Amino acid sequence: MLALAALVATATHAQGTVVDDTGAAVTMPAPARRIVTLAPHAAEIVFAAGAGSAIVGVIKGTDYPASAKALPVIGDANALDLERIAVLQPDLIVTWPWTTPAQVTWLRGRGIAVFQADARTVDGIAQDIERIGILTGTRSEAAAAATVLRTRIAALAPRASGEPLRVFYQVSDVPLFTLGGHHLVSQAITTCGGRNVFGELTIPAPQVSVEAVLAANPQVIVAGTAGAKRPGWLDRWAGWATLDAGRKHALYVVDANLLHRPGPRFVDGVVQLCDALAQGRRAYGAAATAPIIGLPVERGAKASSSAAAGADRQAR
């Protein structure tokens, strides 16, 4: 019986079976050689795992690494070009739950392996890189990238002491969206010495009202936008005399392409967020912790090169 168990275990290992972030088993009879990614962060994970050269199609909004911009686009988060995907003949699709689930189910039904990358913890991102490495036959490259990521994560111990800052994280203006307590960004806020004022909401990207923000009275407001471009609506909060963040002009912006994607560059976004909250502490006359410096740079394929729809869509 022991010999039989060992044989079964060896066969399963050879096939490349992993469990994705939904709990579903994903098996590849051979290393994936043609991959389609259906979320910007999915492509980043595949590149980080050392299998970027196997990607044959990406979703609109995939912009990192630079080489990903030249890959064929097979749709967006709302609709996929199934005919074009069929022509590409992928043997693996890497996606997340928010990309056209009905169409993804259809593709799975045609015998294509589907891996859902939807990490709920920062270490879960490292695990996704390792799992993709198993499915693509690039275990050593993936393990090296995961190790670098975990090293960076370990360096991101809580950076501030004292009472957490009350933080409102804003994704968009009209409608007014934020991120709930189960989102990775909420965990990052805690790491940086803050408290998400809407952390009790379990919806990943809930819509809130201006009145609710005023009632929560955040000390810091952080806007997440593509490329950390400062939006005009952020500074309008300064017009509310009863709002602490507005009175202190503690209004900051971070790159949503880093923070909203559960991929290998998430830690870079956390660094930006911690920087913003450190500025917030200074605005209130509190001693800010030293900025995070000297962290290893995130690596991508073979540990030599770095591993959406709108930022709010990717956040959801």
Q: Which helix (H) or strand (E) holds 195?
A: strand 194-196
CB proximity list for 149: less than 8 A, separation 6 or greater: 48, 125, 126, 129, 264, 267, 298
**Exposure letters 187-225 (e unless 16+ CB within 10 A, then b):** bbbebbbbbbbbbebeebbbebeeeebeebebbbbbbbb
Contact 103, 165 (CB under 8 A): no
Per-residue pLDDT at 161: 63
For 178, the token pair is: 């934020």
Give the tens place of pLDDT for each residue, 215-255.
Answer: 999 999 999 999 999 999 999 999 999 999 999 999 999 99
* 82 pLDDT more than 70: yes
CB proximity list for 132: less than 8 A, separation 6 or greater: 45, 46, 49, 51, 94, 115, 117, 138, 142
Per-residue pLDDT at 160: 56
Q: Which residue has the higher pLDDT, 1 or 126?
A: 126
Angstrom distance (rounded) from CA 135 to CA 133: 5
Domain spans of the chain?
7-154, 161-283
Q: Which helix (H) or strand (E) holds 114?
A: strand 113-116
Per-residue pLDDT at 13: 44
- What pLDDT band is residue 15 in, cutting at 50, 70 and 90? low
Largest CA distance in the chain: 74
> What fold characterizes domain 7-154?
Rossmann fold (3.40.50)
Mean pLDDT within 201-217? 96
Give the tens place of pLDDT for each residue, 257-289.
Answer: 999 999 999 999 999 999 999 999 999 986 544
* Bridge partners for 194 per DSSP: 165
Mean pLDDT within 160-187? 92
From 3.30.450.40, 3.40.50.300, 3.40.50.1980, 3.40.50.720, which CATH number describes the 161-283 domain?
3.40.50.1980
* CA 180-181-183 angle, 5° bins: 75
Q: Which residue has the higher pLDDT, 118 or 163?
A: 118
For 263, the token pair is: 């991929």
* 310 pLDDT more than 50: no
Q: Across the chain, what does the average pLDDT equal?
A: 87
Do the two domains 7-154 and 161-283 of this chain adopt the same fold?
A: yes
* 300 pLDDT more than 70: no
* 159 pLDDT more than 90: no
Torsion angle (degrees, nearest 10) of CA 60, 274, 145, 17:
-70
